[in-house]
Amino acid sequence: MRTMLKSKLHRARVTQSNIDYEGSISIDKGLMEAADILPYEQVEVLNVNNAARFTTYAIEGERDSGVICLNGAAARLADKGDVVIILTYHQVPEEKTKDYHPRLVYVDAQNRIAQTNGVPTEKDWTTELLSKV
């Protein structure tokens, strides 16, 4: 098994912070779905502005709001407007790594999806879900 990048939200902008919340990062629900990030899933956050890197967990923000909100202690690691990269990883069997591709979601300055790579279409998601039943 190898630890591989599962998904990436690339160059999202921090929209707010909440130091008094108990912890985590709130992410627009639509962005979470596009990047295959589940509520409470571990994420790594890289701050492009100050080079901070930290691990926390994702919680759902309002769909189509563009929210990227750092909560709790993480709120001290980025300012509103900072550009962040949000990553998830998972274990992949060695034999599947040759043709492996993560989900990459690129966003614009308002955290709207500008481009995707490796993200299945809605029809593909349905097929993928049904195959697991």
Residue 21 among the catalytic residues: no
Catalytic residue (choose from 7, 17, 24, 26): 24
Catalytic residue (choose from 17, 26, 40, 57): 57
**What are the structure tokens assigned to 70, written together?**
């750092």
CA–CA separation, 33 vs 30, rounded Å?
Answer: 5
Cα angle for residues 63, 44, 8 (degrees, 5° grid): 60
Q: Enumerate the H helices of 19-121 as residue ranges.
A: 29-34
Residue 7 among the catalytic residues: no
**What are the structure tokens assigned to 60, written together?**
């759902």
- At residue 114, what are phi and psi to the nearest 5 degrees? -105, -35
> Which amino acids are annotated catalytic?
24, 57
